[in-house]
Amino acid sequence: MENILEKVENYWDKRSEGYSEVNVAELNSYKMDVWKELINRYKPAVIGRKLKVLDIGTGPGFFAITMASCGYDVTAVDYTDAMLHKAKQNAGYYRNQINFMQMDAHHLSFADNSFDLIVTRNLTWNLERPDEAYKEWHRVLAPGGRILNFDANWYLHLYDKEKREEYFNDRIKSEEAGVNDHYIKTDTKAMEEIAMNLPLSRTMRPQWDAAILINTGFNKVMVEQGIGAVVWDQEEQINYASTPMFMIFAEK
């Protein structure tokens, strides 16, 4: 019988093609510059060398490629082989400037204090043991290193009545606005079955994350709500109105 990690891997393996298309569209739009400006605003300063960046859950490589385009020393990890294959294809000119590795976000095979910056997007809600993952990320960050985690309360509507009403209202608003409904285009049933067994699907975030990061030993933790208004286009903002993206900043 498949464990949760295997189910998540198989799900994203099947979605790698479509998800890659979304990432490629972002790389060829204004969004790459928007994300670059946002991340660079919060990155730590280093002197006399390249910033060492770890992209955890790189998927089709959007963050890794964006960071490589800044001239940083980039390592990108993902548990799904199909996603890494897409990421290498999408990297193009930057392929040889990014160290792509297959790895579990809970168990990173890097030495302590290896990276200045960890970036991740829409990953932590997928994790079976997110508290353990945060401890591992703390371990591989150098003193003064930072995490920038972009995520949302994905699938909280499975447990929260008010959120479920808001979720269905998003479906109505998407149809009324004449935009593509992103949930109709995905295997929602399969993802909901997985999400039901993931701890963060039933947890109000980012409050949970902030508390865990402080307990993990980070010296500074900050949350910025409403990041979706900055990085999402109008179609995404309509689709995900009930699940606004947040940014979690943590400094070791």
Section 193-204 average pLDDT? 91
Q: What is the reported pLDDT for 12?
A: 65
- Using DSSP, state whether 87 is helix, strand or coil: helix
Per mean pLDDT, which range of 68-77, 87-96, 136-145 is the poorest?
87-96
Residue ranges per domain, the chain?
A: 4-251
Q: Looking at the predicted structure, is the pLDDT value of residue 231 above 80? A: yes
Does this model's pTM top 0.75?
Answer: yes
CATH architecture of 4-251: 3-Layer(aba) Sandwich (3.40)
233 and 153 in contact (C-beta within 8 Å)?
A: no
Per-residue model confidence as pLDDT tens digits over 116-125: 999 999 999 9
Per-residue model confidence as pLDDT tens digits over 202-222: 999 999 999 999 999 999 999
Q: Which residue's structure tokens are 């409904």?
A: 181
Q: What is the reported pLDDT for 188?
A: 75
Amino acid identity, position 22: V
d(CA 207, CA 92): 38
CA distances from 231 to 84, 120, 223, 234 (A): 23, 14, 16, 10
Q: Looking at the predicted structure, is the pLDDT value of residue 1 above 50? A: no
Q: What is the reported pLDDT for 24?
A: 75
The larger pLDDT score, comparing residue 241 to residue 14, is at 241
d(CA 225, CA 71): 29
CA distances from 177 to 48, 82, 157 (A): 50, 34, 22
CA distances from 115 to 9, 65, 197, 205 (A): 25, 17, 31, 26
Per-residue model confidence as pLDDT tens digits over 16-39: 677 777 787 788 889 999 999 999
Helix (H) or strand (E) holding 248: strand 246-251
